[in-house]
A and B are shown apart, each in its own frame.
Chain A
Amino acid sequence: MAHAETHDPNTPLEYRSEVGRLNILGFWIFLGAEIALFATLFATYMVLTHRIADGPALGELFEVKSLLIQTFLLLTSSFTCGLAVHEMRRHNVKGLMLWMIITLGLGLGFLYFEIQEFLHFIHEGANIGTSAAWSGFFVLVGTHGAHVTFGIFWVTMVLIQVAKRGLTPATSAKVFITSLYWHFLDVVWIFIFTAVYLMGMVMHHG
């Protein structure tokens, strides 16, 4: 519930309204629930990873090049997203917009290479119905990809609102929350990189 409040001049814009503060805390807690969600998917994947039935082994199809491009794109996007929030705190709408649009571009690039990779796997005869291991792979990595897709739409909506309304306590809290979401997806990717791709390739190639 918004009240007229007095602030320390150093309080970041997104923390200046009560609604903003409540929403940010609530979103942190939501990320806690997301951790539980991804932890369940990771556990499922780990349990099923060697159950390949008649299909190819996971590590057999993984390719280093595609993996590195995806990882580079997503990790860089987390950095540019941080720059965008930095510009927001300097009340620089243009800087915010620029860095956020670059972030979205990198996110789209990530999605492009991920979809290419999925199509490649399907072409090589590994899809969601091939074996328990591939079911686990596609749903874990696909859930992350779906989150990135949702994030791209969400950030776009919020940027439209910033363009229309400028930086207010309300819009800046929204930008900040989407940035938390974006960084979170980056963290999840680091676990996917390690637990799915690295371990998959090491297990396979020895």
Chain B
Amino acid sequence: MKWDEFFVTGDPLIYGADVSIVLTMAGILFYMTRYKKWKWLWTEWLTTVDHKKLGIMYIVSAVLMLFRGGVDALLMRTQLAVPEAKFLDSQHYNEIFTTHGTIMIIFMAMPFLIGIINVVVPLQIGARDVAYPYLNAVSFWTFFIGAMLFNISFVIGGSPSAGWTSYMPLASNELSPGPGQNYYLWGLQIAGIGTLLTGINFLVTILKMRAPGMTLFRMPMFTWSSLVTMVIIIFAFPILTVALALMSFDRLFGSHFFTLQGEGMDMLWANLFWLWGHPEVYIVILPAFGIFSEIISTFSKKTLFGYKAMIWSMLLIAGYSFLVWVHHFFTMGSGAAVNSVFSITTMAIGIPTGVKIFNWLFTMYRGKIQFTTPMLWSLGFIVNFVVGGVTGVMLAMAAADYQYHNTYFLVSHFHYVLIAGTVFGCFAGLIYWYPKMFGYKLNERIGKWVFWLFTIGFNVCFMPQYFLGLDGMPRRVYTYSEESGWGPLNMLSTIGGFMMGIAFLVLVYNMYYSFRFAKRETTGDAWGGRTLEWSTPAAMPPFYNFAKIPEVTGLDHFWRQKQEGKVEKLTAKDIKKIHMPNNSGVPFIMGSFFFVLGFGFVFDWMWMAIIGLIGVIGTLIYRSFEYDDGYYVSVEEVIETEKISK
């Protein structure tokens, strides 16, 4: 392979990216060395097994990926702003919509939510960490390495260009030669391992690590939504694992699962992909539902309306999520009977979702509503998500879908549910739990600017796309003719897209501004919260979370304690020594070997893949022989950390 095949060449945009990557790396190296931060980075972050720090690392990675995916989006919108634009050529455009979709779903939405789950769930259930802290670090590093592997594709080797759905035979060796599609296969495969491990880890954590007295039906709604999400992950991700492996075999070893030769079946890929892909949609929406439930309840100063109905509707949604996958390809030609069944199951999902919407509305009814920024995002969610939901029911009608299929109507629909649902949820959760993570709130005034800019921009961007779709504009085209008449609405859509971009920048500015100027929280209860995570005396819980494990007597335990004036004050007598897990550098090293393995497979360099594989197995063996029983935090240290007077 020649060097100009290894590095992507010939496009000034890519050269610009090369320069900025090199400059950023140099800047980081200089800063870290100049201020002697390397040891701090290693001991505090790279080797940590603390769920709160891992959660923050997930969220930081996700925000970076939101930037990357957002830049992709704006490049596409720039190209589409006017008819017959020459900004991007068709291949480059294909690569960008592929990486945009893949990054936003796999490397932005999921890790953002998993990050929030990491930070919040152990605190909400009164636990000191997750069931398997070490495995949690392995999860993070496999996710991070998968994301990095996927992301370097645009400067090294070329990006995948077969869409985030990677339909066969388009994604085959014949039609997508070279490393691009391999990046997709191995980036997702490696990150998928981490996601499955997270699923197992948090399911066991929620089932087994709850504080005494917290029965299943006393758990906060966000914890419930996480529990249901983990169950979906455990049964959905192995399907993706298999599908990716089979496509890898087709590309590497000449098998005939999805190929046109050898009587392979290309639509089998579509079925397997969406058998995972549709549950995946619920993996990224249910935790957001949980976040909104917490926020709406907190800022209405009321217990969540219809708590049990909320749980049962989530369980129903989880079940249905595995029974609707064919609606992604009604036009495949399965026949009227099959399409009717999947049409009905799809519409049926609207019922439990509707139950949830009404429960949120009734929670606010006669509540004392505070219009904080997390609450604004939640209210914005209800309005905009319903628009996405209603158009979803339109798409669910198989006969009508023949008209909407693969048009901008569909593009607009899933952006209305994924942005108004998942992204609004991520922002709301980030702002709501920001003081728990960093000890101060994000500035509310700037936060309101972000909300209005983003929400208006979002509607300006995507509302026109419904009409473009109804007018016949297909998705995944890099340009369109003047005569089509789609120019003005596309220009409007682009303007909205850039408003969202500006809103993102203001959000990042708010992080900087608040870091510099925000008032530091003096208690653990920044918003007048209801659940256990707000009951820690310090704004940011110490690494062991709770000096004394709370005893829970019912739903909204902490809120009722406050109402009844019975918030316990810790005394030195309460303190016992605390058992905690040791940090470990092995997960990071294992992740690095996964990178070597993935990179080797991407370029078909088997020697490199084998080195990586040996490294991964070596770290597994090392861990198996390591008997690490953790350590105890002494009573004195806890007393000092909690600032208890003797």
Contact = CB atoms under 8 A, between A and B. Distances in A.
B268 A33 contact: no
A135 B234 contact: no
A32 B235 contact: yes
Contact of A135 (B132, B243, B256): B256
A22 B204 contact: yes
Contacts of A29: 200, 203-204, 234
B263 interface: yes
Interface stretch (A47-55, A72-80, A113-121): A47-55
A30 B131 contact: no
B454 interface: no
A44 interface: yes
A34 interface: yes
B255 A26 contact: no
B246 interface: yes
A135 B249 contact: yes
Contacts of B129: 1
B422 to A, nearest CB: 24
A26 B204 contact: yes
A9 interface: no
A22 B257 contact: no
B242 A37 contact: yes
Given A2-B629, A2-B630, A29-B200, A129 B262 contact: yes
B236 to A, nearest CB: 8
A44 B267 CA distance: 11
A47 B262 contact: no
Contact of B243 (A1, A21, A26, A40): A40
Interface in B247-291: 249, 253-257, 259, 261-265, 268, 272, 275
Interface residues of A, number: 38
Interface of B: 128-129, 131-132, 196, 199-201, 203-204, 207-208, 234-239, 241-243, 245-246, 249, 253-257, 259, 261-265, 268, 272, 275, 579-581, 621, 624-625, 627, 629-630
Contacts, number: 118
Contact of B257 (A52, A130, A135, A157): A135
Contact of B264 (A26, A34, A37, A132): A132
Contacts of B580: 1
B624 A129 contact: no
B272 A51 contact: no
A29 to B, nearest CB: 5
Contacts of A122: none
B627 to A, nearest CB: 7
Contact of A25 (B204, B239, B245, B263): B204
5 contacts: A1-B579, A1-B580, A22-B208, A41-B242, A157-B624
A161 interface: yes
B459 to A, nearest CB: 39
A139 B255 contact: yes
A170 interface: yes
A128 B234 contact: no
Given A3-B579, A48-B268, A131-B263, 20 more contacts: A1-B580, A1-B630, A25-B208, A29-B234, A30-B200, A37-B238, A37-B239, A40-B238, A40-B272, A41-B242, A44-B242, A47-B265, A48-B263, A51-B262, A132-B264, A135-B257, A136-B257, A139-B245, A139-B246, A161-B624
A121 to B, nearest CB: 14
A51 B259 CA distance: 12
Interface in A102-151: 128-133, 135-136, 138-139
